[in-house]
């Protein structure tokens, strides 16, 4: 009887973990790989001039309107900490509720809320228009017009200006500095910096520890200091995305009839005349003004800083150190016991371990 039981135990196979994979018959394609984030969003600016050329037997240029096409690319460099929104210090074991109040979402209707980038597009167009109108009011004979590349083919009406829609403006100027890519890039850098500050002011965030009626539209968070003897100071800052500005001349065009035609498609004599008028301005020229544009995000960074000085007296600190030493000794005893048992197993001693006896206190 004993042999049959032992034989059945020896014959019984070990438990096999089932294969939960779907097998080759249902395997799908490899996942699409993640690429590095190298994203740029672009603005396009046009500057126009009217060319009044000579009229000869071979060349007749009475009035030819020329425009230079600039591309302002803002490429993401990274993130950085913005200005401090709020700071507070929690005493040991203190807990407090704070409320994040988004002014932009509270002050605008649902249909008028847009992303940070869309707000930046709007502000840039408004600032550019303001600069152009100021130049016109002061008697200048040139104006510039800008359009925004929103990634779509159709115009998106945002109520302030049209992104991707058709807009045109003309100006008369025969100075090559007006078309200089460095001058254009620096001018747009000033516009972008002004727009970024306007977006930051528009989308301001307020942190408060007081619960008011407006708290219904705010987000509440709980901060707690679990330290026994040291205070903790929380610094709350905004998070900004930093973009690098680069300006490039992407094309020079002439108005033939009602169509804008690339300069290279015109007769050679006309090309020479236009190049002489522009004085070295040609497609492909680029300029890096060294300007970094910072755009605010909707995120906040909470940074905690532990106080350097303790608020506990000497006796309290000594008691805490003794409690820590006691825990270290108990941990050491457990480690030594584990090593002792491992040595018994390595020596072939498979007897059960003696469990520690718990001494019950007499009531």
Where is pLDDT greater, at 280 or 236? 236
CB 260 within 8 A of CB 253: yes
Rounded to an integer, the average pLDDT of 269-273 is: 81
Asked if the structure places residue 76 within a domain, the reply is yes
Residue 216 located in a structural domain: no
pLDDT band for position 55 (50/70/90)? low
Q: What are 243-253's pLDDT values in tens digits?
A: 999 999 999 88
Q: Which domain holds residue 246?
A: 40-81+114-204+238-299
Q: What pLDDT, on the 0 to 100 scale, is given for residue 139?
A: 36
- Length, in residues, of the chain: 363
Quote the pLDDT of residue 329: 92
Q: Secondary structure of the chain: what % helix, strand, coil (to 5)?
A: 35, 30, 35
State mean pLDDT over 103-109: 68
What pLDDT was estimated at residue 223? Answer: 92
**Residue pLDDT, tens place only, 293-333:** 999 888 889 999 999 888 888 888 888 899 999 999 999 99
* Assigned token pair, 209: 């520890």
pLDDT given at position 201: 83
What pLDDT shows up at residue 327? 92
Tell me what pLDDT residue 15 has.
61
Write a three-state SS string for 140-157. CCCCCEEEECCCCCCCEE
Q: Identify whether 166 is part of a domain.
A: yes
Q: Does residue 160 carry a pLDDT above 50? A: no
DSSP state of 55: B
For the ranges 66-70, 119-123, 211-215, 334-338, the lowest mean pLDDT is seen at: 211-215
Give pLDDT, residue 358. Answer: 53
Is residue 158 over pLDDT 60?
no
pLDDT band for position 11 (50/70/90)? low
- The pLDDT of residue 35 is 79
Residue 143 included in any domain: yes
**Residue-wise pLDDT tens digits, 24-35:** 666 677 888 887
181 inside domain? yes
**Helices (DSSP H) in the chain: which residue ranges?**
2-11, 103-107, 116-137, 181-202, 268-278, 314-346
41 confidence band (pLDDT: 50, 70, 90): confident
pLDDT of res. 90: 93
What is the overall mean pLDDT for the chain?
76
User: Residues 171, 49: contact at Cβ < 8 Å?
Assistant: yes
Averaged over 207-211, what is the pLDDT? Answer: 78
| pLDDT tens per residue across span 218-239 | 778 899 999 989 999 999 999 9
Contact indicator for 212, 101 with CB cutoff of 8 Å: no
Query: Is pLDDT of 131 > 80?
Result: no
Q: What is the pLDDT of residue 94?
A: 92
Element (H, E) at 206: strand 205-208
Q: What is the domain count for the chain? A: 1
Q: Is 91's pLDDT higher than 90?
A: yes
Domain assignment present for 283: yes
For residue 70, give Cα distances in angstroms to 169, 179, 252, 303.
Answer: 14, 9, 9, 42
Q: What is the mean pLDDT of residues 336-363?
A: 76
Is pLDDT at 195 greater than 70 in this prediction? yes
Give the residue, 91 or 24, on which the prediction is more confident: 91
Please report whether residue 126 resides in a domain: yes
> What is the structure's pLDDT at 138?
37
Whether 140 has a pLDDT exceeding 50, the answer reads no
Higher pLDDT, 152 or 328: 328
Is 255 a member of any domain? yes
pTM of the model: 0.65
Residue 341 has pLDDT above 70, yes or no: yes
Q: How far apart are CA 14 and CA 65, in angstroms?
A: 88
């Amino acid at each position: 009887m004993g042999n049959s039981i032992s034989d059945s135990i020896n014959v019984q196979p070990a438990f096999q973990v089932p294969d939960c994979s779907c097998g080759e018959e249902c395997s799908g394609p490899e996942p699409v790989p993640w690429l590095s984030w190298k994203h740029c969003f672009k603005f396009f600016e046009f500057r126009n001039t009217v060319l009044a050329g000579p009229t000869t037997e071979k060349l007749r240029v009475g009035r030819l309107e020329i425009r230079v096409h600039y591309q302002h690319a803002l490429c993401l460099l990274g993130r950085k900490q913005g200005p401090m929104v709020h700071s507070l210090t929690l005493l040991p074991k203190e807990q407090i509720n704070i409320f994040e109040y988004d002014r932009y979402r509270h002050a605008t209707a649902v249909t008028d809320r847009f992303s940070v980038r869309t707000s930046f597009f709007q502000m840039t167009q408004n600032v550019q228009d303001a600069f152009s109108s100021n130049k016109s009011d002061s008697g200048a004979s040139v104006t510039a017009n800008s359009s925004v590349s929103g990634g779509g083919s159709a115009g998106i009406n945002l109520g302030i200006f049209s992104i991707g829609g058709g807009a045109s403006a003309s100006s008369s100027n025969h100075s090559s500095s007006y078309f200089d890519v460095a001058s254009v890039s620096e001018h747009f850098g000033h516009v972008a910096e002004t727009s970024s500050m306007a977006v930051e002011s528009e989308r301001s965030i307020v942190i408060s520890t007081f619960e008011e009626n407006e708290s219904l539209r705010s987000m509440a968070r709980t901060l707690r200091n679990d330290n026994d003897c040291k205070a903790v100071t929380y610094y709350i800052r905004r998070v900004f995305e930093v973009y690098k500005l680069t300006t490039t001349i992407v094309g020079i065009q002439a108005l033939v009839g009602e169509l804008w035609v690339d300069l290279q498609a015109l007769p050679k004599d006309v090309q020479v005349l236009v190049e002489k008028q522009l004085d070295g301005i040609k497609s492909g020229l680029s300029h890096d003004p060294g300007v970094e544009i910072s755009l605010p995000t909707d995120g906040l960074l909470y940074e905690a800083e532990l106080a350097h000085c303790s608020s506990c007296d000497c006796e309290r600190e000594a008691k805490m150190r003794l409690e820590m030493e006691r825990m270290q000794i108990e941990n050491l005893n457990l480690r030594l016991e584990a090593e002792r048992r491992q040595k018994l197993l390595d020596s072939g001693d498979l007897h059960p371990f003696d469990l520690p006896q718990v001494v019950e206190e007499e009531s």
